[in-house]
Structure 1
Amino acid sequence: MKQIVFFIFLCLTAHLTASDKNDSLADLLQSFGDNGEYDRMDSIYGVITRENRYEQDKLYALDIDLDYARYLNQKGDCDKAYTLLAQTRKKAATLGKHLSEQSSRSQIQTIEALATYETAYGQWQTDHLTEARSTATEAISLLEQLKDSANLAEAYNLSGVIHRKLFMFDNAISLYEKALAITEDLQNYNLAAIIVSNISILYNEVGKNNEAIQVSRKMFAYPQTDTLTIDYRIGEVNRLCNHAILLANNHLLGNALDTLRLVNKKLQPEMPDGLKLLAYTQYARVARDLGKPSQALQYFQKAMSYKATTLNKANIANLEYLYGYMLFHDTDSLSQARQYVMKAADFARQHPSGLLPKVLLTLAEIEAKRHENQLSYQLVLEAYKANDELNNQYFHNRLSGFEAELDLKEKDLQIAGINEKRAEEKAAYLARTYTIGGILVLVVLLLVILTISMHKRKIAFNLKQLKLEKEIKDKEMQSQLLLTDMHKKMTEQYICGLEDSNNRISKELHDGVCNDLLSIEIEMRQAETPSFSIQLERIREALRNLSHQLATPVFHNFSLYQVLALYTDKLKSLENIHIECYIEESIKQITFPPEQTQEVYRILQEAISNLVKHADAQNAYVTVSQEASQIHILIEDDGKGFTPNSFTNNPLQSGLGLKNIKERCSKLQGDCEIKSKEGQGTVVHFWFPI
């Protein structure tokens, strides 16, 4: 068995390679099903069910099962299809409860609805009509919820067919008309033509031949689509044959013959032999009724040539009856006529229908002509008995149909009564609700009025309170502004006082102490004490430098770049520390007020002074750069550094130097930042706008 399965799989693989490699196994399943290659379809389904995707993708598995069940119904294996469809519906219902995505849930609902439709189709094929009617109604309900118009039309049509077979003709016509309205709205004229054909056949069954012909003619007014496909052409020929039968039954033989001539033109070799047999049989029948026996005989013989390849036994029996009837009445071939009529009679006895009485009466005539009077009499009795049974059966079925329709109408009336009662109860409930609601509305209105009044008072109180709070905030803001202004003025006074003090000390040092030291130095040189004179010279030079540092330089004739360049050049002459300076060329273009240039100079001087005194650094770097609309000055050293928040005499950390720098940065509308770590040097960064 495993070898057979493996061989089938190899064959399928070869088929996939030889044909279109992009076709999936699912496409092959549909292709084999559409072409009626059911054995290959079964093999493909077996391969698909062993795929990983079939096990893992539940939606894919449900689609495959639904397609396979549909083809099983077409194949006629309805029991197997019913079992598979029941499993599919159950799986779909279970899976739909666990899906959150709307698109996946909609797909699941569609699969469940189509599986319900296919179940009803299989039940109709196996003559389980009561179950089929219930299942078809369920399918219609599901498709209506999905608003799936195309499949809903199919479901209405199937339900109409089932009701027709149950002799519930009024319901069948109503369902057909619903299906027809949908298909015409969708412009699906092929399906519309099929539905029109079903309606015309139904009218013919109830004896409304004129209505049947009028309805049947409607399908020829539809626009023709897909006319090149073989399915369309087969359907067209089939509909023309049915129309010709309706015309013949209404004794419009000339019109029927014209229609059948058109059928002959449209028949093609690739069409089913059963269709050819039906067309030629009807042509021969109409030709004979029109008094053209030779032409009728010719077409009967054409029809007989397709008997062996026709699957529809009822059409074969009808052909044999009509051909035998003609041979009996229009030729001398009595034995041959008897042979064909007897075959038709055997089939009619096994499958009782309206054909049976006619076949038995014809056979009785043949036996009478053969002088088998007793046999002829028995056949006549059998014919009348069969006719009575058929009539009784028809009336019984029709009565059952009426009863079923009556039951449906009674249920509809009961439902309508229940709905009417519910409507009355709802109206009374609404009246009570409106009354209570009106009272509640009045109460609410009163409460709203009271609430609004209280709310207005509260708003007025809040406004007063807000006004007071605003006045308080304004006073506080004014106080804050005054404090800020006072702080600013105090800062300016402090800096101005500091400058004045520095200038005064510088002048005293330069004019007083330095001159006194110079006099002492001259006297010591005259006293020939060079060591003391050298020390005094150094002290005097140091005091002189200190006085220059304390004195406020005059920056009116110097730009910021020049001041920074002169100061940084002076820093390079320091002996105890090596200072590298870099000033961007863009600083040359900046015009700075002298007062602000002085503040920049003092900040830089303060930072360098602290660095030289306390950092114990070997190297330092001064960088002056411009970024956007700000000037950044960065002073870095490799000195001993310090730990923030620890006690030290470093002015930058203790707050003296930092306070001085920050106050001057504040005057420049800038800020500063100092970073240091013990043993890793210090970085002083200050910036201000241009």
Structure 2
Amino acid sequence: MLGISLSISAQTTEDKLLDSLSGAYSRNLHTKPQAAKEAALQWLKESRRLNKNLQEAQALYALGNLANIMGDYKSTIKYTNETIALLKASNIEKGLAACYNILASAYKSLGEYPKSIDNFMECLRYARLTNNQVQEANAYQNIATLYLLQKDYKKSAENLDRAAELYRIKGDVDGEFTTLFNFANIYKEQGKFEQARKHYQTVLEYRVKEGNNAVVAYININLSQMLVLEGKCREAIIALKKTLVLLEELKFHSDIVIVLNDLGLCESKLGHTKSAINYFQRALAIGEKQSLFQYKSDIYKNLAQLYEKENNYRKALEFYKKGVASVAEQNSLDKEKYVVEIQERYETELKEAKIQLLEKEQKLSDAELQKAELTVKRQHVLRNALIAGFILVLISLVILRLSYVKRLRIQKELSVQQEKYAKQKLSEMMKDHKLSVIERYQEGQDEERSRLAREIHDGIGSDLASIKIAFEHYTEQHEEDLKSKRIATAISNACIDLRSLSHQLHPLPFSKIGFTSFLSDFINQVIKKSDLNIQTYLFPREDIDLLPDELLADVYRIVQELINNIIKHAEASHADVQLTKHKDHLNIVVNDNGKGFQKSKKQGIGLRNIKERLQKIKGTLDIDSNSGHGTSITIDIPTN
């Protein structure tokens, strides 16, 4: 934990309680973060009740460390500052290095680089003061990530080598694997994907065996991002969706933003505009809530471009303005990063100069050393002031120029927007009217299906049942007549087919019969009656069955229509039907290996019916098909 030991001759009941809460936190830290948080909060509460300052400090550090892992950096800063204050009040130096390390890491993630480097320096100072080589190595690791952000790969690798050497001296295997992970990050940033992938796989195997889900998620994010950079967007989407599920379980908000942003980029490159907008909007919502600014300007620009493709110029202009404002904010952050880089290099050179000075001139008096240090500090302050002033003037001129150009462009776009606003309002009114017509049409269609199902069941079904009973009496008297038996079997099969047709036309409420079971029965009947092999994936079945009957009825009609289209038109031998219930939507994917079709070709009645149903329930449809390469249809239906 903090590296603080407590000697106790005999454990009391209170001590056992605190130790059990500490153990629960440690066991769940990397696998069940929410359970670890609950244990740490209870640990903090009991420590304060029992007035045990050391246990309180350890519990506060645990909460800060967990918040840092989960991406809640504001909570990290709050809890860690409370830990530092408590340790200093108790005159305890051991543990301060660890506190300053995660505090610096949180500031780095929030983009506050000057504060980050100041706290890393404090970490190094206390690590050397308390001879804590592990925390010293951790500080070098994190300083290496700062250099990586500035694309100074040489300095980043040098700091990682220092960390690795210290980990080897201490025999810290976990630290060595963390160093290997950061080396993989350097290779990824340099575009050396094969070398990076090799390192990531090595670390992944170790973390999977260890059960460290947090690091497993981080590695999968980086592997997915390399697929994006290599242009393998379809493979990247599959990997990113799996990683997103794991991150949502862990509630790692900052990493969820990264994955949603990458999913938006992939969908945008594949031409799936609506899906891309959805992912970018979700990323933006989480990022603003968690004060994560790294991706804001890029997300705003991407959304503006996507809405422009959708001819939604009002939205495009809104996000374009936000992007311009965010660029100015990002320029300020870039200035801070540049100043930090100069400070770090200068401080490193200053330390090396001091070491050489001490080796060559050991007889120098303390007064002369203090005078030399004071001179260096004055030069440092003067140099930083000159650099900061120059950068501020330069940035101000650039911002003024950009603002003038953007203002002219925005004024021109506003004039065009006003002309199109009236057309947009008219289009919305027509859309509302069309939705009303579609709903009435589908209600009438469902009523007609219900009427036909009753007619079939009560009329033809009853007559066929009577014929079956009468013929069974006949066959009892002619048991040896094979032709009679064949006719009896045919009548029985006709009864079964008639009942199945009646249920398909108007199924019972799905809450009574189980939607997934009903859908599986329907697909099995299709397989028996055709040459089409259908593989079904329904997950999780329990959550799907709990959806409203009205929604499930539409889902059933959509899947039924898609399968019928495959049988009638695709000339396919195999198909996949996949239903996945997510937190706020139901995802339907239907694939086949048939002959495909051209999107430009006039669409049939079946596909129009599907689109009308989706329009009614605000669902989205994406078709990926080419002649001779099969068809893939993806549907997302909101469940809120």
Which structure would you say has the larger Rg? 1
Range of TM-score over shorter length: 0.3 to 0.5
- Greater relative contact order structure (CA < 8 Å, 6+ sep): 2
